[in-house]
Structure 1
Amino acid sequence: MKRYVIERLLRSLISIFLVTTVVYAIVFTMVPRNLIFKQDPNYNKMIKTPDSKANYENTVYERMGYIDYYNTKELQEKAAKFDKSVTTAGTAKNEKIYKDYIKSIGNGWTLHRFENKEFYATREIPLYERVYKFYANLIVIDHPWRIHDSSNPKLERYVRFENDKSVGWALTGSGTEHKYLIYFNGEFPYIHQNIVTFNLGTSYPTYANIPVLQVITQGQGRTISKDVTFPTGVTKSSPINIYTRTYKSPKNADSRDKANFGNDPYTNTLNNYADPSMISNSFVIGVIGVIISYIIGLPLGMLMARYKDGWFDTLSTASITFMLALPSVATIYIIRYIGSSLFGLPDSFPLLGASSPSSYVLPALILGILSVPRIVVWFRRYLVDQQGSDYVRFARAKGLSEVEISRHHLFKNAMVPIVSGIPGSILLAITGATLTETIFAFPGMGKMLIDSIKAANNSMVVGLTFIFTVLSILSLLIGDLLMTVIDPRIKLAGKGGK
């Protein structure tokens, strides 16, 4: 078992690497990079200021990993180490110095000029270098020597458990990026950690300059205020999420920071939001959808197998075949129309928002119904195959009824592949909800993927692909392990680990 799990994890890592790398290469080479400015309002205001526009473009390209960029000031500071007489003026003398400097550093750098004659330099980053940087910075480990702030040389450095005034017992740090490395609260998944995190890049142009993982996991909608106890001991109503405290240089602190946090430099925080995060929303409708699909699909598949070739099986098979042939978008619109017209359910999530449970009913129901045909076909086929097995014939010979055989033998054995497929079904419902979430304007990860593709938000596309790939492979592993729990006779690895 141990060898199987280790080998499976190694193969999984290779699969994650290959899938993410291929998507990264496609997105960052085949998608025209200028498309990222289509939905950037700041960019569209710079039409009449070409120098500012060029500087803005290069700054964004640098942030997204397309290029290395030295603006006029940065280039002058770099070149001054080569020749101290250089200035930012667009003179012939400076041009010669800059060209000599660019030539000396090589590595693909190119000198350019703004319309005001000042200079700047860029370097196209090769794809292999970009991919390397992505994986090199993917896993971030927080530790007491992570923060280096010359303006705060006396910063303490420690990691310890303590009863913090603001959050209670927690593993806290100083010199770390996050104040709370491990903490506990009443929000899913209840135990939280900031020791190991993922850096999936920065979102742009939608949710501009916010880390991809933060976009997916933070709340949505309007901010809400709660009673918060600050490190100074003062409790007051505030939208601040005290658990998200990160380091902020004291030189940038303002009077409000001093009033709330005293001399503690961990004053950067996020807000509390009224609505759940994208990943929470997708998880909710995904899990409910899977429950619905199995509640409908398993009994229906069992009845079809029980009365094989009868009128019920024939009629059900025809219905299932029709559902499989019907485009998903048609199924979604039919259920949406029936639910809104006959039962008064909202046909768009924003109508009532996350505060109303009815907003989740139709999206979850649709995800469940879309999965029913696959479950019914698979389960019926499995039971029909098993009906001819030796143990079933032996049970009939003993005088057991067909109901008893189905209940005590067929269904019990069928539980093994059922349990194996549940994690994958949940993931399929979450990641495959792109169409449903888009039609309902549902704020989940599936809709976010579609929106990111349309907006050329390349970092978000790669980040979501990475998350979906990891969850897919993890669900397959969990499914295999669950099979051994249900039926200990199953061995995932034979003798010698093969």
Structure 2
Amino acid sequence: MKKYIIERLLRSLVSIFLVTTLTYAIVFSLVPRKLIFKQDANYNKLAKTPDMKTNYENTIFERMGYLEYYTSKELQAKAAKTNPTVTTEANASNEKIYQDYIKSIGRGWQLKRFEESKEFYATREIPLYERVWNFYANLIQIDHPWRVQDKSNPDLPRYIRLENDKSVGWALVGSGTIHKYLVYVNGQFPYLHQNLITLNLGTSYPTYGNIPVLQVITQGQGRAKTEQVTFPTGVTKTSSVNIYSRTYKSPSQADARDKANYGADDPYTATQTNFTDPSMISSSFKIGIIGVIISYVLGLPLGLLMTRFKGTWFDSLSTSAMTFLLALPSVAVIYIVRQTGSSIFGLPNAFPILGAADMRSYILPAFILGFLAVPGLALWFRRYLVDQQSSDYVRFARAKGLSEAEISKKHLFKNAMVPIVSGIPGAIIFAIAGATLTETVFAFPGMGKMLIDSIRAANNAMVIGLVFIFTSLSIISLLLGDILMTIIDPRIKLSSKGGK
């Protein structure tokens, strides 16, 4: 068992690497980079200022990993190390100095000039293989007391220790780390939280501009939520600050409010905001899990009844109905259920009507995800049970005098639970990732439509991040399915001798 899990984990890591790398190569080589500006309102405002437009483009391209960029001042500072007489002025002598400097550093750097001011700047196109390497090299971030290197704060203490913090209670806190609270417990799922090891999936742009991809997916949504917050100075006030999200901020950038809330000597004043609605990943998991429960509650008994009454009018009618539902376009089912639920049962036909605080907002999206999976599950279960009816153990049970109902209940259904249980984790992931139409129709703030929205907006970092997450969850779900099989049927051994 242990050997199988280790081997499976290694194969899973290889699969995640291959899928993510292939997606990265396709997105960053085949998608025209200019497309990322089509939804950027700030970029369109710079059309009449060519220098500012060029600087903006290069800054964004650098942030997204396409190139390295030295502005005029940065280039002057770099070149001044070899020739202190250089300035930012657009003259021949400075151009010669810059050309010599560019030649000395090599690696594909090019000297360029702004259109209006004629001042110099430099760029270097980063090869695709180097971008892929940088993505994986920075993927896993480990926080430690020497992560922060702030020259303006040379006396910053450096430690990790367990403290009874005034704001959050007992927690593993750090200094010199990026995050203040490295491990802590609160009443929010999953209750035990950690910032020691985090994933860096890049920065979102142009949608959710300049926010880390993982933060976009995991942070709350909607309006800012205010509540009573106790700050490190002991002051308790109504605020939307998420006190658990404290990260390092240079004291030179702190304002009077920061000092009043956190103290003059505490540099951990950068925080995120609490929101009224749950995160994308939380919302998607809610309707995904409920949808899978609905599909199994409806699909399995129906498939069992179709098998029990095989060849009767009930079986023929049910098979025809399930086949019709499979052939019916998903969008038609979504609109029919949406209209029926809204007009007859008074349920909201769009998520924003009642919002995340009302459970009725989740009923129709979750029911649709479950209902769409019922036909395929019921027909598969019927076909599986029909195949099993000709098995030796079923003939032996009949020979013992057991009724068909007893055989179905005690033997067929029990054996069928093994493949059923193994598919539950994957079904949940499929419901989350495949909820694109449902989430779009209901304006549901989940992860399903985020991938399509990101592709449409040329948000390459978000596309790569979501592909990485969905691939990882899918592969993990396969492993969990195998483990669940061994729990349901101990005869199954996940080893090279016992079979895989």
Query: 1:320, 1:463 → 2: CA distance?
Result: 36
Residue 156 (structure 2) aligns with: 155
Deviation for aligned residue 1:62 = 0.4
1:379-398 aligned within 5 A: 379-398=381-400
Name the amino acid aligned to 1:296.
Answer: L
Query: 1:157, 1:52 → 2: CA distance?
Result: 40
**Residues 441 and 447, structure 1, Cα contact 8 Å, conserved in 2:** no
Residue 175 (structure 1) aligns with: 176
Name the amino acid aligned to 2:361.
Answer: S
1:137 and 2:138 correspond: yes
- Corresponding residue SS for 1:221: strand
Deviation for aligned residue 1:307 = 1.1
Deviation for aligned residue 1:151 = 2.0
Name the amino acid aligned to 1:75.
Answer: L
Query: 1:373, 1:68 → 2: CA distance?
Result: 53
**Residues 24 and 132, structure 2, Cα contact 8 Å, conserved in 1:** yes
Name the amino acid aligned to 2:12.
Answer: S
Q: Which 10-residue stretch deviates more, 472-481 or 246-255?
A: 246-255
Query: 1:82, 1:155 → 2: CA distance?
Result: 32
Deviation for aligned residue 1:496 = 9.0
Q: Which 10-residue stretch deviates more, 98-107 or 29-38?
A: 98-107
Query: 2:81, 2:331 → 1: CA distance?
Result: 62
Query: 2:106, 2:175 → 1: CA distance?
Result: 41
Name the amino acid aligned to 1:57.
Answer: E
Query: 2:276, 2:499 → 1: CA distance?
Result: 50
Deviation for aligned residue 1:423 = 0.4
Indicate how the Cα distance of structure 1 residues 314 and 496 shifts in structure 2: closer, same or farther if over 3 A, else same: closer
Deviation for aligned residue 1:497 = 8.4
Q: Which 10-residue stretch deviates more, 311-320 or 204-213?
A: 311-320
Indicate how the Cα distance of structure 1 residues 496 and 27 shifts in structure 2: closer, same or farther if over 3 A, else same: same
TM-score of the two chains, using structure 2 as the length reference = 0.98
Residue 35 (structure 2) aligns with: 35
Name the amino acid aligned to 1:176.
Answer: T
Any unmatched runs of 5+ in structure 2? none
Deviation for aligned residue 1:100 = 1.8
Indicate how the Cα distance of structure 1 residues 51 and 40 shifts in structure 2: closer, same or farther if over 3 A, else same: same
Deviation for aligned residue 1:344 = 2.1
Residue 304 (structure 1) aligns with: 306
Residue 483 (structure 1) aligns with: 485
- Corresponding residue SS for 1:495: coil
Residue 324 (structure 2) aligns with: 322
Query: 1:477, 1:39 → 2: CA distance?
Result: 40
TM-score of the two chains, using structure 1 as the length reference = 0.98
Query: 1:250, 1:101 → 2: CA distance?
Result: 35
**Residues 184 and 190, structure 1, Cα contact 8 Å, conserved in 2:** yes
Q: Which 10-residue stretch deviates more, 386-395 or 116-125?
A: 386-395
Residue 370 (structure 1) aligns with: 372
**Can you list the C-alpha shifts for 1:85-135, whole angstroms capped at 9, x where unaligned?**
211111112112212221221111111111211011111110000000000
Residue 268 (structure 1) aligns with: 270
**Residues 242 and 271, structure 2, Cα contact 8 Å, conserved in 1:** yes
Residue 7 (structure 1) aligns with: 7
Query: 2:47, 2:152 → 1: CA distance?
Result: 39
- Corresponding residue SS for 1:370: helix
Residue 249 (structure 1) aligns with: 250
Query: 2:436, 2:468 → 1: CA distance?
Result: 16
Residue 89 (structure 1) aligns with: 89
1:195 and 2:230 correspond: no
Query: 2:56, 2:300 → 1: CA distance?
Result: 57
1:225 and 2:226 correspond: yes
Deviation for aligned residue 1:217 = 0.3
Residue 448 (structure 1) aligns with: 450
Q: Which 10-residue stretch deviates more, 160-169 or 210-219?
A: 160-169
Name the amino acid aligned to 2:340.
Answer: I
Query: 1:343, 1:496 → 2: CA distance?
Result: 52
Deviation for aligned residue 1:295 = 0.5
Deviation for aligned residue 1:23 = 0.7
Residue 348 (structure 1) aligns with: 350
1:121 and 2:125 correspond: no
**Residues 278 and 443, structure 1, Cα contact 8 Å, conserved in 2:** yes
**Can you list the C-alpha shifts for 1:252-294, whole angstroms capped at 9, x where unaligned?**
1111111111122111111110001000110000001000000
Query: 1:230, 1:96 → 2: CA distance?
Result: 55
Deviation for aligned residue 1:79 = 1.4
**Can you list the C-alpha shifts for 1:407-453, whole angstroms capped at 9, x where unaligned?**
11111111111110100000010011111111211111112111111
**Residues 492 and 498, structure 2, Cα contact 8 Å, conserved in 1:** no
Q: Please tell me the root mean square deviation across aligned C-alpha atoms, in Å.
A: 1.2
- Corresponding residue SS for 2:344: helix
- Corresponding residue SS for 2:122: strand
- Corresponding residue SS for 2:310: coil
**Can you list the C-alpha shifts for 1:338-383, whole angstroms capped at 9, x where unaligned?**
2222222222112221122111111111100111122112211111
Deviation for aligned residue 1:67 = 0.7
Q: Identity, % of aligned pairs?
A: 74
1:104-115 aligned within 5 A: 104-115=104-115
Name the amino acid aligned to 1:343.
Answer: F
1:401 and 2:403 correspond: yes
**Residues 4 and 497, structure 1, Cα contact 8 Å, conserved in 2:** no
Query: 2:306, 2:497 → 1: CA distance?
Result: 39
Name the amino acid aligned to 1:327.
Answer: P
- Which of the residues 267, 277, 298 maps onto 2:279? 277
**Residues 418 and 485, structure 2, Cα contact 8 Å, conserved in 1:** yes
**Residues 64 and 459, structure 1, Cα contact 8 Å, conserved in 2:** yes
Deviation for aligned residue 1:146 = 1.1
Query: 1:397, 1:496 → 2: CA distance?
Result: 30
Query: 2:217, 2:496 → 1: CA distance?
Result: 41
Deviation for aligned residue 1:494 = 3.0
**Residues 249 and 270, structure 2, Cα contact 8 Å, conserved in 1:** yes
Name the amino acid aligned to 1:94.
Answer: N
1:290 and 2:292 correspond: yes
**Residues 110 and 122, structure 1, Cα contact 8 Å, conserved in 2:** yes
Q: Which 10-residue stretch deviates more, 376-385 or 122-131?
A: 376-385
Q: Which 10-residue stretch deviates more, 311-320 or 419-428?
A: 311-320
**Can you list the C-alpha shifts for 1:57-90, whole angstroms capped at 9, x where unaligned?**
0000000000111111111111112322211111
- Corresponding residue SS for 1:294: helix
Name the amino acid aligned to 2:493.
Answer: K
Deviation for aligned residue 1:192 = 0.6
**Residues 228 and 235, structure 1, Cα contact 8 Å, conserved in 2:** yes
Name the amino acid aligned to 2:208.
Answer: Y
Q: Which 10-residue stretch deviates more, 251-260 or 189-198?
A: 251-260
Q: Which 10-residue stretch deviates more, 351-360 or 223-232?
A: 351-360
- Corresponding residue SS for 1:188: coil
Name the amino acid aligned to 1:338.
Answer: T
Aligned residues: 498
- Which of the residues 492, 495, 498 maps onto 1:493? 495
